[in-house]
């Protein structure tokens, strides 16, 4: 009975000890640089020990023994851990600053190698094969089926770039002050090039002092009108390209970057018969900047 109680108290102590090894803020930060739960628990445990076996780390970090070996191997490959050739295998903690430098350099090399492979693929005959596969796939579906939800500001910005690049006639935008700033900061050069190619760009937006610089710059490449609450109490964003594809916000315009969501579709009905008339209504009831 005494042995069982001792083992139970030992387990509780180990679990509590693991929780005390690092603050929650540190664990969250390690998650932000790409370490999953088991990786960050085992790395912190190894830092606390200096050198340890997988069994010791499994107990200290409260990570299943069946997963500990492969997670430690992954940490070694990333640069956080050194594996000693001993029986049993032992793991040595790389000092934190050095480990982070190793990981950063490896990520940079991996990124550069991947970019090089992508560029080789883009410039090879295989790209034509991919394009043909995609073309045949599109022939099997209707434009209404080409749609999807986009989450996160990066995904939204990428899709906006693709939409704008495809423009051959017009771009109509309804947006907010922060949306005007985003257009200026992320898409100004592209919109400027499109304007030079003859694309008609119209922007109806809420305007305040926070977007004065963006309004001044964008006015040179687009016709901008100010939305007035009394006439069109609309607060959000949507984009229409050539009356063929559209993107509209699903989240509040001031939502943080990771919660930013928009819906994109190539549905002619949704674009031409629903959102385009909405844009026309907003446009007609908005005030040209030179008439304020």
In tens, the pLDDT along 113-139 reads 999 999 999 899 888 888 888 777 766
| pLDDT for the residue 11 | 36
**Residues near 99 by Cβ (< 8 Å), separated by ≥ 6?**
79, 80, 93
Q: Pick from 30, 25, 18: which is nearest to 61 by CA?
A: 18
| pLDDT for the residue 130 | 86
Summarize pLDDT for 247-292 with one digit per residue, the tens: 998 888 777 767 778 899 988 888 988 999 999 999 999 999 865 4
| Residue 73 banded pLDDT, cuts 50, 70, 90 | very high
Answer whether residue 20 shows pLDDT above 60. no
SS3 assignment, position 23: coil
Q: Could you tell me if 203 and 173 are in contact, meaning their C-beta atoms sit under 8 angstroms apart?
A: yes
| pLDDT for the residue 3 | 41
Domains of the chain, CATH where assigned: 2-94 (1.10.10.10), 146-291 (3.30.870.10)
- Given the structure tokens 């594996």, which residue do they identify? 83
Q: Could you tell me if 45 and 18 are in contact, meaning their C-beta atoms sit under 8 angstroms apart?
A: yes
pTM, two decimal places = 0.59
The mean-pLDDT minimum among 149-153, 184-188, 282-286 falls in: 149-153
Summarize pLDDT for 204-219 with one digit per residue, the tens: 999 999 999 999 999 9
| pLDDT for the residue 267 | 86
DSSP code for 222: S
Cα(98)–Cα(146) distance, integer angstroms: 47
Q: Pick from 288, 173, 186, 171: which is nearest to 228 by CA?
A: 288
**Residues near 154 by Cβ (< 8 Å), separated by ≥ 6?**
257
Cα(51)–Cα(48) distance, integer angstroms: 9
- Dihedral angle of Cα 256, 259, 264, 270, to the nearest 10 degrees: -90
| pLDDT for the residue 6 | 35
The mean-pLDDT minimum among 15-24, 101-110, 119-128 falls in: 15-24
Answer whether residue 74 shows pLDDT above 90. yes
| pLDDT for the residue 148 | 86
Cα(224)–Cα(288) distance, integer angstroms: 7
The whole-angstrom distance between residue 187's C-alpha and the CA centroid of its chain comes to 17
Burial 24-33 (b: 16+ CB within 10 A, else e): eeebeebeee
Cα(43)–Cα(21) distance, integer angstroms: 11
| pLDDT for the residue 145 | 60
| pLDDT for the residue 9 | 33
DSSP letters of 223-261?
EEEE--TTT----S-EEEETTTEEEEE-S-TT--GGG-E
- Given the structure tokens 């050198």, which residue do they identify? 51
Kindly state the percentage of the chain with pLDDT values over 70: 88
| Residue 233 banded pLDDT, cuts 50, 70, 90 | confident
- Return mean pLDDT, the chain: 86
More confident residue, 12 or 185: 185
Question: For helices 2-21 and 37-49, what crossing angle results, to 10°?
Answer: 100
The mean-pLDDT minimum among 54-68, 116-130, 137-151 falls in: 137-151
């Amino acid at each position: 009975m005494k042995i069982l109680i001792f083992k139970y108290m030992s387990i509780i102590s180990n679990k509590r000890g693991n929780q005390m090894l690092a603050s929650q803020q540190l664990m969250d930060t390690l998650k932000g640089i790409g370490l999953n739960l088991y990786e960050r628990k085992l790395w912190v445990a190894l830092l606390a020990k200096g050198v340890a076996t997988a069994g010791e780390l499994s107990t200290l970090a409260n990570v299943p023994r069946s997963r500990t070996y492969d997670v430690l191997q992954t940490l070694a490959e990333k640069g956080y851990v050194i594996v000693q050739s001993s029986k049993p295998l032992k793991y040595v903690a790389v000092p934190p600053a050095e480990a982070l430098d190793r990981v950063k350099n490896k990520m940079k090399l991996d990124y550069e190698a991947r970019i090089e492979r992508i560029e080789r693929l883009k410039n090879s005959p295989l790209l034509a094969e991919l394009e043909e596969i995609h073309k045949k796939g599109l022939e099997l579906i209707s434009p209404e089926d080409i749609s999807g939800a986009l989450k996160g500001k990066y995904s939204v910005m990428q899709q906006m770039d693709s939409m704008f690049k495809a423009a051959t006639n017009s771009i109509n935008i309804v947006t907010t002050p922060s949306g005007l700033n985003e257009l200026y900061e992320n898409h100004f050069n592209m919109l400027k090039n499109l304007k030079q190619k003859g694309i008609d760009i119209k922007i109806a937006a809420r305007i305040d002092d926070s977007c004065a610089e963006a309004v001044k710059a964008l006015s040179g490449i687009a016709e901008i009108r100010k939305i007035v609450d009394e006439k069109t109490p609309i607060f959000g964003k949507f984009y229409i390209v050539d009356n063929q594809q559209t993107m509209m916000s699903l989240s509040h315009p001031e939502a943080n970057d990771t919660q930013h969501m928009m819906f994109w579709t190539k549905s002619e009905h949704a674009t031409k018969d629903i959102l385009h008339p909405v844009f026309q209504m907003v446009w007609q009831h908005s005030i040209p900047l030179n008439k304020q």
